[in-house]
């Protein structure tokens, strides 16, 4: 084989490889496009009627004197049909399935309730959705991992599930029935009982408002980059102060989040002011006047933390220092 | 010589093969261009001549009688007073006319949770229309949840029927496609059309609610119920879709109920703890103005809800409700 033939063969190989590469690229493009295929765009609907309620034994949860009227299961694709504009909140928080069941009193058809069991895939997600929707001035339910009641219904977390009820009226009879179902859920619905959220132990306990911790998985305080933020409220005289922190993957990541939040505050009209607490100054904490409220933010190890919109700077700085000490302890123990 | 032939043969062979490869690429490219369907599968889209447009149900403007705000806890009394302050129900409904009332019946939830229009309010408006001589009054909505359950559990089916209205639940044949002129999202999209096609007047009734996505759900968001198909895709651009709905629907009157306001966890709520009693009811011919006032009951400003400015810019109404000099009253 002479050099010309060899060159021709080489060129043919190059052309062939190029053609095959083009075909592969086309195939990848088709696959990428197909992965975002939206049936709704073409007026088609998804098939959900075949879904079974195998994960949650809904029919076994009916309280005494009630019977099951209907059962439904929703997935992320059709969750909006049940809760409309609230669906994105759940989906962005790890939602997997919603199981609902309506129970009606056998003697009084006007007495009914609906159970909502949201499978949020993980305890942390369930806690987040529970906490951000928690009503004010509620009574804590001590037998629940996280739970409270309003005048008309209980709300609680059971492992990876967030559970709520609605009732046809505010009545003791209906509330008792809801609690009976709640207890059945605790008994009949297996979850990882050892699971807990270690971050919640990092909040200082003194003056902590019971039941106040929240977890914002996304966009805490209106800042898009602020993810996985735990907050808790503290009593300081007549004032309530909100402390926050987030544990990042590394100290570098925490510092980046600190700088981003600092920038966000400045861009939105916050003004830096001097800290009166020397420890915070030494530590490099930033104190801001944010439209008449005090905002404090700092980073320590993998943690970004601070105080959000406090009325009184001194109380805010005091709490920020206590939180800082607690986080520094946690940092040492790691 | 022999060496030269082999050299020529090799070049010829290469050129032939390269030519074939080029033809193959050109053929594949041409076939792709010819077969490419830029519109995608036809699905439920319809031809332009089959598209429908909702009629304009608005009544002529009367200066100084565009909007009324009435304080009171009894919805029947407040709505009667609010309409009276705008010139009375006779201004809006003439004897022999057919009226469609579109309450917010989005969820299968009891009235005490404030997620849907209150049945007593719906019944009161039906009674007023009947009193004005309406030949027929329809009460209808296209709930997101199972429609029969929504109308039953919200108490609206029973209350509206008892007041003399005919309740229409959505059926597949009620939907027709529409395209909103200058619309970005409402293009060849199915809407709940049939119940509104032949009526003379249209009245919207909605509660004031917090809305996790839109900030607030009031008069304008109430028309979301007219959208068919997988309307949740519009949640990605909620401000534009609400503004477009305000362009698409020109109601006779809207009733905005702030007797009890859902302050948190909207639009579904789920507890009476989400509600705050504000004892306020608004009647308005300008739904942008009604919502601009209504959002103050949620401790919001009109500027907090981008869809209000968008609707105003599109000519659907006025965010400066005070410029309309709303008539105040108590009942």
Residue ranges of domains in chain A, CATH in brackets: 58-188 (3.40.1000.70), 198-333 (3.40.1000.20)
**A12 contacts B268? CB cut-off 8 A:** no
Residue B264 is assigned to a structural domain of this protein: yes
Residue B285 is assigned to a structural domain of this protein: yes
3-state DSSP call for residue B260? strand
B148 and B6 inside one domain: no
Residue B31 is assigned to a structural domain of this protein: yes
Interface test with chain B among A13, A43, A149, A153, by most B beta carbons within 10 Å: A43
Residue B25 is assigned to a structural domain of this protein: yes
| pLDDT given for residue B48 in this prediction | 79
Of the candidates B89, B88, B102, the one whose C-alpha atom is nearest the C-alpha of residue B140 is B102
B12 and B78 inside one domain: no
Q: Which of B13, B107, B274 sits opposite A8 (nearest CB)?
A: B13
Residue B44 is assigned to a structural domain of this protein: no
Q: Which of A2, A5, A43 sits opposite B229 (nearest CB)?
A: A43
**Could you tell me the residue range of the domain that residue B23 belongs to?**
1-36
B29 and B65 inside one domain: no
Span A158-174, mean pLDDT?
95
Residue B43 is assigned to a structural domain of this protein: no
Residue B42 is assigned to a structural domain of this protein: no
B105 and B193 inside one domain: yes
Give A16-25 pLDDT, tens digit per residue.
899 999 999 9
B3 and B100 inside one domain: no
Q: What are phi and psi of A163, to 5 degrees?
A: -125, 135
Question: ∠ CA A46-A49-A52 to the nearest 5 degrees?
Answer: 125
B268 and B168 inside one domain: yes
Q: What are phi and psi of A115, to 5 degrees?
A: -100, 135
B98 and B14 inside one domain: no
Task: Report the CATH number that the domain containing residue B250 is assigned in CATH.
Answer: 3.40.50
Contact B116, B235 (CB under 8 A): no
**B110 contacts A167? CB cut-off 8 A:** yes
Give A233-273 pLDDT, tens digit per residue.
999 999 999 999 999 999 999 999 999 999 999 999 999 99
B216 and B316 inside one domain: yes
| pLDDT given for residue A58 in this prediction | 87
How many other C-beta atoms lie within 10 A of the C-beta of residue A209?
Answer: 13
B56 and B10 inside one domain: no
**B6 contacts A39? CB cut-off 8 A:** no
Residue B286 is assigned to a structural domain of this protein: yes
B28 and B101 inside one domain: no
How many separate domains does chain B show? 2
Give B114-155 pLDDT, tens digit per residue.
999 999 999 999 999 999 999 999 999 999 768 999 999 999
| pLDDT given for residue A49 in this prediction | 37
Q: How confident is the model at residue A46 (pLDDT cuts 50, 70, 90)?
A: very low
For residues B42 and A166, the model is more confident at A166
Instruction: Judge whether residue A226 has pLDDT over 80.
Output: yes
Supply the pTM of this predicted model: 0.81
The answer to which of A41-50, A209-218, A317-326 has the lowest mean pLDDT is: A41-50
Give the residue carrying structure tokens 């639009």: B267
| pLDDT given for residue A2 in this prediction | 66
């Amino acid at each position: 084989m002479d050099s010309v033939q060899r060159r021709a063969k080489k060129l043919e190989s190059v052309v062939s490889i190029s053609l095959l590469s083009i075909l592969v690229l086309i195939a990848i493009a088709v696959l990428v496009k197909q992965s975002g295929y939206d049936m709704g765009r073409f007026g088609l609907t998804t098939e959900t009627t075949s879904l079974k309620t195998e994960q949650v034994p809904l029919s076994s949860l009916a309280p005494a004197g009630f019977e099951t009227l209907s059962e439904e299961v929703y997935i992320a694709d059709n969750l909006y049909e049940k809760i409309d504009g609230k669906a994105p909140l759940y989906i962005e928080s790890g939602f997997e399935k919603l199981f609902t069941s309506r129970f009606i009193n056998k003697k009084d058809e006007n007495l009914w309730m609906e159970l909502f069991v949201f499978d949020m895939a993980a305890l942390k997600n369930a806690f987040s959705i529970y906490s951000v929707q928690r009503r004010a001035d509620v009574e804590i339910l001590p037998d629940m991992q996280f739970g409270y009641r309003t005048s008309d219904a209980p709300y609680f977390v059971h492992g990876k599930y967030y559970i709520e009820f609605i009732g046809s009226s505010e009545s003791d009879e209906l509330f008792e029935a809801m609690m009976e179902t709640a207890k059945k859920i605790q008994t009949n619905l297996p979850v990882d009982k050892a699971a807990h959220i270690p971050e919640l132990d990092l909040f200082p306990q003194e003056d902590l408002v019971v039941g106040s911790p929240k977890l914002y998985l996304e966009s805490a305080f209106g800042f898009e980059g602020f993810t996985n933020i735990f907050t808790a409220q503290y009593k300081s005289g007549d004032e309530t102060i909100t402390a926050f922190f987030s544990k990042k993957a590394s100290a570098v990541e925490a510092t980046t989040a600190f700088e981003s939040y600092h920038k966000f505050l400045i861009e939105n009209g916050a003004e830096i002011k001097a800290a009166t607490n020397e420890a915070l100054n030494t530590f490099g904490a930033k104190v801001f006047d944010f439209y008449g409220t005090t905002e404090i933010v700092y980073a320590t190890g993998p943690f970004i933390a601070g105080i959000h919109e406090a009325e009184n700077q001194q109380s805010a700085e005091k709490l920020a220092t206590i939180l800082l000490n607690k986080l520094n302890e946690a940092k040492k123990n790691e | 010589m022999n060496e030269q032939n082999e050299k020529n043969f090799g070049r010829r062979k290469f050129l032939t093969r390269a030519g074939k490869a080029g033809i193959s690429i050109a053929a594949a490219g041409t076939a792709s261009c010819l077969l490419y369907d830029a519109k995608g599968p036809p699905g439920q889209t319809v031809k332009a001549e089959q598209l429908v447009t909702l009629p304009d149900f608005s009544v002529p403007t009367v200066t100084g009688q565009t909007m009324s705000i009435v304080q009171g806890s009894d919805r029947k009394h407040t709505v009667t007073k609010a309409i009276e302050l705008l010139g009375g129900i006779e201004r809006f409904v003439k004897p022999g006319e057919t009226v469609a009332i579109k309450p917010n019946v989005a969820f299968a939830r009891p009235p005490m949770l404030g997620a849907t229009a209150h049945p007593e309010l719906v019944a009161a408006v039906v009674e007023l229309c009947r009193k004005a001589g309406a030949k027929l009054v329809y009460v209808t909505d296209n709930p997101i949840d199972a429609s029969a359950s929504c109308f039953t559990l919200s108490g609206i089916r029973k209350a509206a029927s008892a007041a003399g209205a005919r309740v229409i639940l959505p059926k597949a044949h009620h939907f027709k496609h529409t395209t909103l002129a200058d619309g970005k999202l409402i293009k060849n999209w199915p809407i709940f059309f049939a119940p509104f096609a032949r009526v003379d007047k249209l009245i919207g009734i909605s509660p004031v609610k917090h809305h996790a996505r839109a900030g607030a759900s009031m008069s304008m968001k109430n028309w979301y119920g007219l959208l068919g198909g997988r309307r949740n895709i519009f949640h990605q651009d909620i401000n534009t879709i609400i503004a477009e709905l305000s362009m698409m629907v020109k109601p006779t009157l809207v009733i905005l109920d702030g007797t009890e306001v859902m302050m948190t966890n909207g639009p579904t709520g789920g507890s009476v703890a989400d509600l705050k009693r504000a004892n306020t009811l608004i009647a308005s011919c300008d739904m942008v103005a009604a919502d601009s006032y209504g959002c103050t009951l949620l401790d919001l400003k009109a500027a907090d809800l981008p869809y209000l400015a968008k609707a105003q810019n599109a000519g659907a109404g006025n965010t400066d409700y005070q410029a309309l000099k709303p008539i105040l009253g108590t009942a």
